[in-house]
Amino acid sequence: MKEKYILALDQGTTSSRAIVFNKNGMVIGLGQIPFRQIFPKPGWVEHDPEEIWTTQLAAARAAVAAAQIEAGQIAAVGITNQRETTVLWERSSGKPVYNAIVWQCRRSADICQELRSRGLADTVREKTGLVLDPYFSGSKLMWLFEELPGLRARAERGELLFGTIDSWLIYKLTGRHLTDPTNASRTLLFNIHRGEWDKELLRLFNIPEAILPRVVPSSGDFGLVGKELLGAEIPVTGCAGDQQAALFGHACFTPGSAKNTYGTGCFTLMNTGAVPIVSRHNLLTTVAWDLGKGYTYALEGSVFIAGAVVQWLRDQMGMLSDAAESERLARSVEDSGEVFLVPAFVGMGAPYWDSEARGTIVGITRGTTKAHFVRAAIESIAYQSRDLLVAMEKDFGGEIPFIKADGGASANNFLMQFQADILNRRVILPEVGEITALGAAYLAGLASGFWSGLEEVERNWRQKREFAPGMSPERRARLLASWSKAVETARSYK
């Protein structure tokens, strides 16, 4: 009998990726295809749902080809995805009625402000663990129904379907309209305590229940991939939002274990066990996963602009020829020359949740060079992550001994060392860098029997490198005081 494998679809913000994993959790085939970023107005971000689908399918085919295996050798498919991005499509034709509104998009800021003015923030937080922010899907849906004539009536007649990107891909792969609790918990419409779409919230947001997908366990039955797509009918048995999938891929199975993903944004999650912790420090409470035996919960903090600040330096500012050059420039100077950059290009996420904050640079002098500017940009990623982790420790009531790190920007050794220094905690990188896709693979493999249980998954996790803090307490305190002043400046600009 030929060896079996797991195919993970990793649909991200800037590219669609697919990876084939073996029993040891090692990569044996990968496909990746970028797609367009659409910016219709300042603060607006869209994707073409059909382009997401076609690039994801092409990436899957490329990964299988790269692995040099047959479709029949794939035991199961797992899906992980950019979260909160909102798609609305026709039930009859499967065609989107509008571009996907991306998680970064701030167009629904006024809607959120209006809901807050009605005193709904506490109700939303109590039921969903989230804050009323344009980041989440519910306000994006409200915008679609308010701005596009006739859509709400069509939705009420049952003609339209809503989904985050996982639901869109599941629908295109299997024809079923499903999601899992990790993605449902990011919509502002899902009660994370009762594990169901909340009727009171649907009334408050004026969202027709008929458009919502059915919620099934993250490690469970999502249907069969059509034979015409990959060459065989393959069960889809795993699904989780990208950050929860990364937490699972890091084998953070015990309460108090945490990870930070350094991608387009930065996302810190901590496993809090079977009981959700209500944050007192502006973090989110979210579903970490559901293995079919009850929810595991997490605390989460989100930085909107992390690796994207390096892309900005390269593409908009012309300061870099490629992202890799940023590390060389950062190391070419002893420090940032007292320059601090707060990349609040689309407002600030946790723990500030200030949609009006704007990108700010302070401390520029005649002696400031491009290298200082680039170093300040990279350091901003670590400062923002530290803000999250400090808030997380306060909510959890205990110190995090180390952070497991992943994501594209974790390849920047300067950033990882500065993160350890400014956080005063160890930062550990895994041997397998494709940790988000690996988490989706594990969820699929557990449901399909490919892996026997969490113990086998945990044995697969291996450390690649560790960064230990080496900064003096005095220097750390001085830098953090300056960072706080820079953040205050960014938030005061209205």
Give the start-to-end residue ranges of the domains of the chain.
Answer: 5-240
Contact 269, 242 (CB under 8 A): no
Radius of gyration, alpha carbons of the chain: 22
Alpha-carbon span 219 to 309, nearest angstrom: 34
Contact 192, 136 (CB under 8 A): no
DSSP H/E element including 48? none
What DSSP string describes 401-462? -EEEEESGGGG-HHHHHHHHHHHTSEEEEES-S-HHHHHHHHHHHHHHTSS--HHHHHHH--
Length of the chain as a residue count: 494
Peptide bond into 473 cis (omega under 30): no
Please state, in angstroms and as integers, the Cα–Cα distance from residue 481 to each residue in 51, 475, 477, 484, following that order.
45, 10, 6, 5
- pLDDT tens digits in sequence order for the chain, 494 residues long: 689 999 999 999 889 999 999 999 999 999 999 999 999 998 899 999 999 999 999 999 999 999 999 999 999 999 999 999 999 999 999 999 999 999 889 899 999 999 999 999 999 999 999 989 888 999 999 999 999 999 999 999 999 999 999 999 999 999 999 999 999 999 999 999 999 999 999 999 999 999 999 999 999 999 999 999 999 999 999 999 999 999 999 999 999 999 999 988 888 999 999 989 988 888 999 999 999 999 999 999 888 888 888 888 898 888 888 877 888 888 888 989 899 999 998 888 888 888 788 999 999 999 999 999 999 999 999 999 999 999 999 998 888 889 999 988 898 999 999 999 999 999 999 998 889 999 999 999 999 999 999 999 999 888 999 999 999 999 999 999 999 999 999 998 76
Contact 162, 88 (CB under 8 A): yes
Cα distance between the two ends of the chain: 65
**What's the whole-model pTM score?**
0.89
Annotation: CATH topology of 5-240: Nucleotidyltransferase; domain 5 (3.30.420)
Cα 413 versus chain centre, distance: 22
Structure tokens at 264: 């387009």
The backbone region for 421, taken as left when phi is positive above 0, alpha when psi lies in -120 to 50, beta otherwise, is alpha
Question: Which residues partner with 361 through β-bridges?
Answer: 341
